[in-house]
Structure 1
Amino acid sequence: MKKTAYFSMEFAVDQSLKTYAGGLGFLAGSHFRAAKRLNLPLVGVSMLWSYGYYDQAKDREGRMKVEHVRKYYDFLTDINLKVPVTINGTNIWVKAYKLEENVFNTCPIYFLTTDIPENDHLSRTISYELYDGNNLTHIAQEIVLGVGGYKVIREAENVKYFHINEAHALPIAFKMLEDYGIDYVKEHLLFTTHTPVAAGNEVQDITLLKNMGFFGSIDTITAEKYGGNPFNLTVAALRMCKRANAVSKLHTDTSEKMWSWVTNRVPIINITNAQDRYYWQDAGLKEASEKKDYNGLQKRKKELKRELFKVVADQAGKMLDPDILTVVWARRFAEYKRPSFLLRDEKKFRNLIESGKLQIIWAGKPHPADSNAQITFNWIMSKTREMKGVAVLTGYELNLSKLLKQGSDVWLNTPKRPNEASGTSGMTAAMNASIHMSTVDGWHVEWAKEYPEDSFTIGDGINLNEDYESEEMYERLKEAISLYDTEEWWKKAANSVNHVVEYFDTERMIKEYSEKLYID
């Protein structure tokens, strides 16, 4: 493997370092923990968000509200390095801090900020909040990550490849083009795409990007040759990189079809996402599963349910029962993930809950500028507030995510195919004896094909009618209720624990990156 700099808008390496929103950051964190363990030459580049993503709180009536609280970190090293970046005709200073390897046992990561006294107030706000809803600020963040990150790496490290995780850091390609020409770019740039829907891939007005400094000194005609007009960041990345990958087999097929019209691009290879078992997996669940000690597995799972239920009682005032099947829906609140799908037929949902044999927990963070997602979150909360055995939690950071995965019996995933590029939360749940229940999308396509008895599959992946899929979901929940807490259940849960790490552990993923992407 050649030494590689990995650029990502977010990294979830520890609860205390709040520089992430969700799955993209969780993936990057696992990537860097495993790479450190395997002693691979990888360095990270990201943004030091002064206010993180946001703090998800409740108002006086219990509805979700967005708060922004400044973060401080004394465990980042000031390396006394500042580089200039030009944005909208203004010279802005980008300061780098370094997360050393020994802090959280990861490969080193450089965190960039514009929130320093050398910059005016507007320039300082660029690194205030992850995924800022203002488009101009968002473009400025991409320039800081791409160009600022490139300059920092050139000063601090000697790397062969520049790997952009999603197209946010694409300005790096135009900086390299400006300095060395297209042959250099195509020799040193690597790209991972995560969005399997054309509408979800970022498109910008090309003149706006030019004026903002996205292309540096590269003229608009040249930029248009790579990204079109309007300018599509994913298309440009596919045309300018040496290699590109998607993050599941279904996503690879979807991406190849979606971008088949793009000329002069690289093929999209598959490297299915994975997560780090050494970080996520409970040792007691692992040991009991490996020994096929079903009584021990049941005992440990119910201990972990009690730990989770303390948080539920604290947040929601609901007392859940560790002897009852507990289903969790927890992830980013995005429309295609269908967070309210459980309530599609409210009568059937209520019947399941009122049977006294099923408990449900929701958790997740809508984008702070996505009012529809926030309305959905609050609607679910209002619909279920008076229901016994149903709770809605605020937050989905690392610690709560781990508690939910270790304390749930079923991890429910309801994306609308083929919108889920991979999804990884179910992998870490399965590592903790929480059986994956999912529509036929993302990584579940591979998991259910290899080990169909280790999960519950909703629908057939062909009939995508929502009435059909919701009926299937309720039937799978009934199936889970009838099976729960039998020897057959714990055998299924143990097999899930033992089998999921065979392929969906990060060390396999990292080795594939080393063999398929980070090579000459």
Structure 2
Amino acid sequence: MSPRERTTTAEDARCPRLPDRLGGLWTLANDLSWTWNPEAPTLFRAIDPPLWRRTRHNPVALLRTVGAERLRSVAEDPVFLRRYDAALDVRRDAVAVGHAREPGTAGHADDVGADATPTWFDERYPAFRDLPVAYFCAEFALHESIPIYSGGLGVLAGDHLKAASELGVPLVGVGLMYAHGYFDQTLGSDGWQDDADDPLDPDLTPLERLRGVDGVPWLASIRGGGRRIHIGAWRLRVGRVSLYLLDTDLEENDPADRGLSHQLYAGGADHRLRQEAILGVGGVRVLAALGIEPGAWHANEGHAAFMMVERVRRLMRDGRSFADAVSRVRASTVFTTHTPVSAGHDVFSHAQMREWIGETFWEEIPHREELLGLGRHPDDEAQDRFHMTAAAIRLSRRVNGVSARHGRVSRNIWRGLWEDRAAGEVPIRHVTNGVHLATWMSDDIAGLLDEWLPAGWRCTDDEAMWGAVRDVPAPALWRVRRRLKLRLLDLMRDEARRRWPGHWTESAHLAGAGTLMSPEPLTIGFARRFATYKRADLIFRDRERLLALLSDPARPVQLIFAGKAHPRDDDGKRVLQRVYEHTRDPEFEGRIAFLENYGLHAAHGLVEGVDLWLNLPRVPLEASGTSGMKAALNGVPQLATADGWWEEGFEGDNGWIIPLAPATASEEEVDEHDAEHLFRLLEEDVIPLYYDRPGAGAADDAPASWLAPARRAIEVAGARFTAGRMVRDYARDYYVPSLRGDD
């Protein structure tokens, strides 16, 4: 048998005993396509609503915890059974493929159906439908119960897999299995962030352990630090797509190596170097052990650059010259860079490379200098350093940024790799990010659009079809928007109740958690990683002006903040602390709140429930940003600087934009300029528009003037900024040309 046939399946001993009529529940729970199956969440919730909340919407934990008597009861409920059958029908459509694919690649052997409706990719590129595209990323955000993500990069990668599944793109994801998660955030009474492990229990997730020859728990190995490091793997099913998560926490490994895959972005540079070798080198070797032969390779950020170096090494081992090996790897490789911030690009010394992973790359061939040279940066005076992004760019035929502005910025940053070219001629393009519509648009908004948009609106970027959003009546949209805000406030109160007994020692935390907030005021949301350039504290530059806005008895305003600072980013933690201090200030009357431990569950509540989304990065340091796209899909306009996606997404009537400061302005002058324009927009445009309500005696209080940009926000985001559009762009302009071997 091949290694593929010795996997632990979703129908293994972990499966709870289910009534025969409900035997498909376990299969449904163990395929993450349930997260965008419109029938599945309602189905699982109906089994046991309180338990569904306590398990934080985790169907595997629900089924392993709920009592047998309750399952027997719902198995006899005709309403539940209709929902169950409908959810299984949707799941079958979500995984069905109209042709055979290799087990373990995109699609699964038991889901093949000759009569299945061809997918978008099948119809357009039938010659390449059985050639997998390997998609490498250091983090993936797919569900709250699998905390192997830190923020935007992981959410983007998760949405990429979901959209690829829907479109039938034969994608195979490769990442790392962080058994201790990223971290669990709690704030002390002084607002300082404490970081604790957020452990992952595989038995409460849809993770499937893969096994190698003779049932051993590892599939490949690398050498580093004088030892061999064995690498295991887990599989997650995401509809038609499989995600393989690599793991070194095996008894066969030295204790020092078992922790390499424990936590996302943990440890110092040596630790990161070895993690990235496991991801890149180990990922290539694990795919080979599984019999998966990708036709194209996509590195999502520089963390995965060793995937390319390993492929060069393997070709040289097989007799290819260095130049020929590089050319062959480049021809089939796509690289996406996600940040212009220097701290986001990993750099390792040659000494570190030799000590920790040197044996991996030259245990069979002696070409050390050629391989190390792939990571040299011509602008770095120290020529004994390996730049992961430089190596990735050198080894990729197709390179892109993640917005039009970021493409321009990236061409300027990396033009040194093309000595004879001006910045405008550097071959770095862009694919603007998008978000998975079925994941991020609330069921309430989607249900409303079902009534007013033509059939098929969920699967198209046709601007004429999306233009029908303008026909949605203001009262109907306002009722949905009010319902979503009330749900957000309930979420915040529930989170406060959950944290108060175990984490908070004084009642002052409760006000800061949003328990005093009302559904009536204009509510502004700001949620993202607390990095200094994202300027979460910009609105606090003028305390008196802010106080006047928040405490206006006729037109009050509320602010909700959320997000984590990187555990080693003390400057970011100080920004968070300054924001948190304002939540405890009684002068603000409880109108500023901080929602702790921001993750996917809280993100849904915020992007759906606030009235206005705020994004204030210092231009041009935000490569794209996607939180505003998620908010827009729910009828929440954005007020932001002219950075990332908003530079191209702002249409004049779907939100507000802060104009660029003069190019000669200092950083302090830029902050002052942006703060002034922020307050001016709030005072003169945003707040008056929100409170422009019908007069006394009107049948409803829907602010028609405010709902015009809300509709346009939905229209523009739905037509231009979904993950479906993004993955179609990658498939058409990057994957298929790589599969064809185009120059």
- 2:724 is aligned with 1:507: yes
Normalising by structure 1, what TM-score? 0.95
Task: Give SS of 2:415's match.
Answer: coil
In the alignment, what sits opposite 1:310?
490
Q: For 1:407 and 1:282, how far apart are their aligned partners in 2?
A: 10
Match of 1:29 among 141, 144, 158: 158
Q: Which moved more, 1:370-379 or 1:248-257?
A: 370-379
Q: For 1:376 and 1:335, how far apart are their aligned partners in 2?
A: 7
In the alignment, what sits opposite 2:140?
11
Q: Which moved more, 1:172-181 or 1:41-50?
A: 172-181
Normalising by structure 2, what TM-score? 0.67
* Shift, 1:58, TM fit: 3.3
Q: For 2:622 and 2:514, how far apart are their aligned partners in 1?
A: 33
Give the letter for the 1:187 counterpart: A
Match of 2:299 among 160, 164, 172: 164
In the alignment, what sits opposite 1:481?
687
- 2:410 is aligned with 1:255: yes
**Alpha carbons 1:43, 1:109 under 8 Å: kept:** yes
Query: 1:264-343, aligned counterparts within 5 Å?
Result: 267-288=427-448, 290=469, 291-313=471-493, 314-315=495-496, 316=513, 318-343=515-540
Match of 1:132 among 258, 266, 271: 266
In the alignment, what sits opposite 2:112?
none
- 2:280 is aligned with 1:146: yes
In the alignment, what sits opposite 1:80?
211
Query: 1:190-209, aligned counterparts within 5 Å?
Result: 190-198=334-342, 200-209=344-353
More strand by share: 1
Task: Give SS of 1:80's match.
Answer: coil
In the alignment, what sits opposite 1:227?
375
* Shift, 1:430, TM fit: 0.4
Give the letter for the 2:626 counterpart: T
Q: For 1:41 and 1:99, how far apart are their aligned partners in 2?
A: 15
In the alignment, what sits opposite 1:97?
234
**Alpha carbons 2:406, 2:624 under 8 Å: kept:** yes
- 2:575 is aligned with 1:389: no
Task: Give SS of 2:371's match.
Answer: helix
**Alpha carbons 1:51, 1:129 under 8 Å: kept:** yes
Give the letter for the 1:342 counterpart: I
Gapped regions of structure 2 (runs ≥ 5)? 1-127, 213-217, 316-324, 377-382, 450-468, 497-512, 692-702
Match of 1:120 among 246, 249, 254: 254
In the alignment, what sits opposite 1:453?
653
**Alpha carbons 1:176, 1:184 under 8 Å: kept:** no
Match of 1:423 among 622, 625, 628: 625
Give the letter for the 1:88 counterpart: G
Give the letter for the 2:280 counterpart: G
**Alpha carbons 1:78, 1:96 under 8 Å: kept:** yes
Give the letter for the 1:480 counterpart: V
**Alpha carbons 2:190, 2:577 under 8 Å: kept:** no
Q: Which moved more, 1:174-183 or 1:90-99?
A: 174-183
* Shift, 1:150, TM fit: 0.6
Q: For 1:184 and 1:499, how far apart are their aligned partners in 2?
A: 40
**CA deviations over 1:273-318 (Å, ceiling 9, x no partner):** 0001111101332454634221111111111111111233343153
Q: For 2:145 and 2:429, how far apart are their aligned partners in 1?
A: 35
Q: Residues 69 and 281 (structure 1 numbering): CA distance in 2 closer, same or farther, change over 3 Å? A: closer
Give the letter for the 1:227 counterpart: G
Gapped regions of structure 1 (runs ≥ 5)? none
Q: For 2:405 and 2:210, how far apart are their aligned partners in 1?
A: 42
Q: For 1:514 and 1:392, how far apart are their aligned partners in 2?
A: 40
Q: Which moved more, 1:184-193 or 1:247-256?
A: 184-193
Q: For 1:106 and 1:29, how far apart are their aligned partners in 2?
A: 13
* Shift, 1:62, TM fit: 5.9
Q: For 1:461 and 1:301, how far apart are their aligned partners in 2?
A: 34
Q: For 2:480 and 2:734, how far apart are their aligned partners in 1?
A: 40
Q: For 2:352 and 2:443, how far apart are their aligned partners in 1?
A: 52
- 2:313 is aligned with 1:178: yes
Q: For 1:350 and 1:423, how far apart are their aligned partners in 2?
A: 28
Task: Give SS of 1:492's match.
Answer: helix
Query: 1:346-361, aligned counterparts within 5 Å?
Result: 346-356=543-553, 357-361=556-560
Q: Residues 483 and 287 (structure 1 numbering): CA distance in 2 closer, same or farther, change over 3 Å? A: farther
Q: Which moved more, 1:54-63 or 1:21-30?
A: 54-63
Higher CA-based Rg: 2
Give the letter for the 2:152 counterpart: G
**CA deviations over 1:107-142 (Å, ceiling 9, x no partner):** 110011111111121101101110114211111110
Identical columns (%) = 31
- 2:553 is aligned with 1:362: no
